[in-house]
Amino acid sequence: MFATDIHVGSPRLYRFRPACNDNWQTARRQMVALEPDLLLLGGDITRDGNIHRYELEAVKADLDALPFPAYVVPGNMDTGNKRTAIASGRRDDVRLNLDSASLAQFRSVFGPTEWTFVHKDVRFSGFCSMLAGSGLPDEAAFWDWLEAQRQQPRARYHVWVTHYPLFVDDRHEPNFDLRDPQQYQSWYFSTDEPHRSCLLDVFRATSATLVLSGHVHCRKTHRADGIRFDIGPSTAFPQWATHWPDGDTTLGFPPALRRHRPGDRLAVRAPGARLHPRRLRPRRPSHTGTARLLARVGEVSGQAPAGTISAMPSIAAMAATAATPDTPAMPRVACIVTEYRPRSHADVFVTMLLAGYIYPAPHEPDRFDFHRAARELSEAPLPLDARGRLRRPRVRVASLYTDQVPANDISRALAERAGVPILPTIREALTLGGPQLAVDGVLLFAEHGDYPFNEKGQHLYPRRRFFEETVVVFRKSGRVVPVFNDKHLAYNWADAKWMYDTAKELDIPFMAGSSMPALPLGWRKPPLELPLGTRVHEALVLAHGGLESYGFHALETLQCMVERRAGGETGVAAVQCIGGPEVWDAGANGRWDLSLLAAALQTLAEPRTGEPRTLAREPVVFLLDYRDGLRAAVCMFNGVTAERAFAARVTLPGHTQPQVVATCWAHHSQEPYGQGAYLLEAIQDLVCTGHPPHPVERTLLTTGVLDAAMTSRYEGGRRLETPHLAITYRADRADERAS
């Protein structure tokens, strides 16, 4: 059998196409039923194996489970494209070049990229076609190997396997210019001269009968110099349907060759022959289907929808590769959550740990705006490593506790797929059912769920209870591990201060807060960072959402900027919350700066037409008086914006005149909510190093301010003195934002 361009991917990747995996499993089952002697694979066995080794390893495990041997040559998606020194203008072709590191990675999983063997009077030979003309150190050995094939003992037939076709239309065609849009695809799918002629000479000298290739995803046969050249179809998705009038983009896999009876001449299956059970019904992604490329691991909870094919465990298990330690030392964490439903904080953070940073994926694909997602991911990318690759989770989810299980719970399906136990108590989640603490970190996500509100409008999430039960295990075990608490420490100051003091008493590495301070500078438009020692005279944050739930994010936005001022953080002396028409009266009277609001509005990526006073629905402002004289306002103006912006009047170090500076934070308005990935990077830094990358004092202060603001609002907008918020810290000592 010959198959090519199967493009098996991992749900951890943004480019994942579930249909490709499903189609490969269909083809795989049909191949097994046909009982072939062997399988030849013409490359592009992965979606992004040149970047992600775990894709190569997962496909290798799947092929090793076949009841017949599989022989693989690499494709450009497995190791990199044929090399070029110029870019086409339509994509970054130079960056996509084959390189020695990717080639070595492929070989470390699959073995040599050049191979030859004889089976039943047929010699089979395969090689990495992207090496031809690559200029890499590996190229000399590649040509030496090809020359050596001239001396190999002859078999009755010789079948060559390569990924790139030698040519698209004619063996004498000229080299194509990738800079010409009309020629780009032909350049992309062909082998350039003089390397084409060199390869053809080897084929002739070795009595080649048949040359099998892939890459194009369209079935086509050529003949040249007495040799048959078959370009195979893909099992994943069709391409180039309009180039060849007689081309066939039907998904499938043709038998490479067959013998009718002993002694018969070798028969090659004609490309036009119908291979009913071996031709796949394509699941072609439209825009709606494209959104499904982000399909959440666990979207199918154990049962495939009608008309689809469930993946075999060997491929489905790719969803759980993030939960499998790369090394025995990979830290293990217990995730303690209030509820785990679509778009909950548990879904954002824990799902990223289980499946990668492109998760969670769209829960409502029909409403998902793919174009917006592409723009947002381009302007505000996910965390990348030094080589420009998507970062992988560095900790393993060892256990899960869910305080509530709503009707739309997704934790059970996800945990089952990832092999993560859901335990009935927090204690058991931390001890993994044993007598002592058995994890390296504890992540508390007490956000969302069916919990009551108090008379002030504060949501009574069990943050203190989660932390308190964690501390009980620490005390009984005689040791502590890092703890992260999502968002504010507690809904009230007393609980928050107890948590902070207890962490200090037990020397617990403790971090809490919002994703806003964790976002890299590139997510700020323009990329504003106040130099340490800046004199901040007045500041303002423009935000939206619920007063407590989103007001906390707004306060963290404010605090991560103003804490860099001269003298460091000194604490807040008084807090007031005013609403309605009084908001605008206070602005007119100078209690907060209307010009800073105007500056913040100028930075919005999606400004709305109209005056803020007209657009704002039930406007509310938090007024903060800091102990060092700084005044700040947090404007919660629903209807004015769905973004967060900061403006301030400052005097920069080395300057004498104040100036207004402003910036707006980019955000992902829909899945995968990439802002969570950067907070997750900080969380993993905490667990892996034992040192909080952000000061917990910041969140202690914002928690206290939020509690005071909610109390002020409940008491009719009374200004509250806050001597208990005399919290001091220096950002330059603890705050290391992700870059």
- In this predicted structure, the answer to whether residue 601 has a pLDDT above a threshold of 90 is yes
Spatial contact of 206 and 225, defined as CB atoms under 8 Å apart: no
Nearest-angstrom CA–CA distance, 571 and 700: 10
Task: Report which of 31, 123, 112 is spatially closest to residue 74, judged by C-alpha positions.
Answer: 112
pLDDT given for residue 245 in this prediction: 86
Q: How far apart are CA 535 and CA 564, in angstroms?
A: 9
What are the pLDDT digits (tens) for 67-116? 999 999 999 999 999 999 888 766 778 888 999 999 999 999 999 999 99
Q: Please state at what angle helix 581-588 crosses helix 594-602, rounded to 10 degrees.
A: 110
Alpha helices per DSSP H over 228-379: 287-291, 313-316, 345-355, 370-379
Q: Is the pLDDT of residue 117 over 50?
A: yes
Q: With CA atoms as reference, report the closest residue to 481 among 510, 455, 449.
A: 510
pLDDT of 308 > 70? The answer is no
- Residue 94, φ and ψ in degrees, nearest 5: -65, -40
User: How much is the average pLDDT of 134-147?
Assistant: 95
> What pLDDT does 739 receive?
31
pLDDT, one tens digit per residue, over 245-287 is 888 888 888 655 554 343 433 333 333 333 333 334 433 333 2
Q: Report phi then psi at 113, rounded to 5.
A: -85, -10
Q: How many residues does the chain have?
A: 739
First to last CA, the chain: 48
What's the pLDDT at 389?
81
Structural tokens at position 492: 């009230």
pLDDT for 359 equals 81
In this prediction, residues 400-406 reach a mean pLDDT of 97
pLDDT at 567 over 50: yes
Q: What is the dihedral of CA 300, 305, 307, 308, to 10 degrees?
A: 10
Q: Under DSSP, is residue 529 helix (H, G, I), strand (E, B) or coil?
A: coil
More confident residue, 200 or 737: 200
Q: State the average pLDDT over residues 356-375.
A: 83
Alpha carbon distance 276, 259 (integer Å): 20
**What one-character-per-residue DSSP string does 703-731 give?**
HHHHHHHHHHHHTTS--EE-GGG---B-H
Q: What value does the mean pLDDT of the chain take?
A: 87
d(CA 408, CA 414): 13
Rounded to 5 degrees, φ, ψ at 158 are -135, 120
Phi, psi of 522 (to 5 degrees): -65, -15
Angle, CA 94 vertex, CA 3 and CA 388 arms, to 5°? 90
In 462-530, where do the E strands start and end? 483-486, 510-513, 524-525
Query: Which tokens is 287 given?
Result: 């825009």
* DSSP letter, residue 422: B
Residue type, 573: A
Given this model, what pLDDT does residue 214 score?
96
CA atoms within 13 A on the CB side of 345: 22
Residue 273's pLDDT is 31
Element (H, E) at 210: strand 210-213
Check residue 5 and give its pLDDT: 95
Which residues lie closer than 8 Å to 522 by C-beta, 6 or more apart? 380, 381
**Contacts with 461 (C-beta within 8 Å, 6 or more apart), sequence order:** 338, 446, 447, 449, 451, 491
In the three-class reduction of DSSP (H, G, I as helix; E, B as strand; rest coil), residue 737 is classed as coil
Cα atoms in the Cβ-side hemisphere of radius 13 Å centred on 473? 27
Residue 13: per-residue pLDDT: 66
Read off the pLDDT of residues 337-347 as tens digits, 9 standing for 90 and up: 999 999 999 99
Using CA atoms, how far apart are residues 644 and 642, in angstroms rounded to an integer? 7
Tell me the average pLDDT across 146-150. 96
Range with the largest mean pLDDT of 288-292, 381-385, 447-451: 447-451
CA separation, residue 95 to residues 85, 105, 134, 358, 604 (Å): 10, 17, 14, 22, 33
Predicted pLDDT at 363: 86
Express as a percent the part of the chain with pLDDT over 70. 88
What does the pLDDT read at residue 552?
98
Angle at Cα 47 formed by Cα 44 and Cα 48, nearest 5°?
100
Nearest to 217 by CA among 233, 199, 231: 233
Residue 732's pLDDT is what? 66
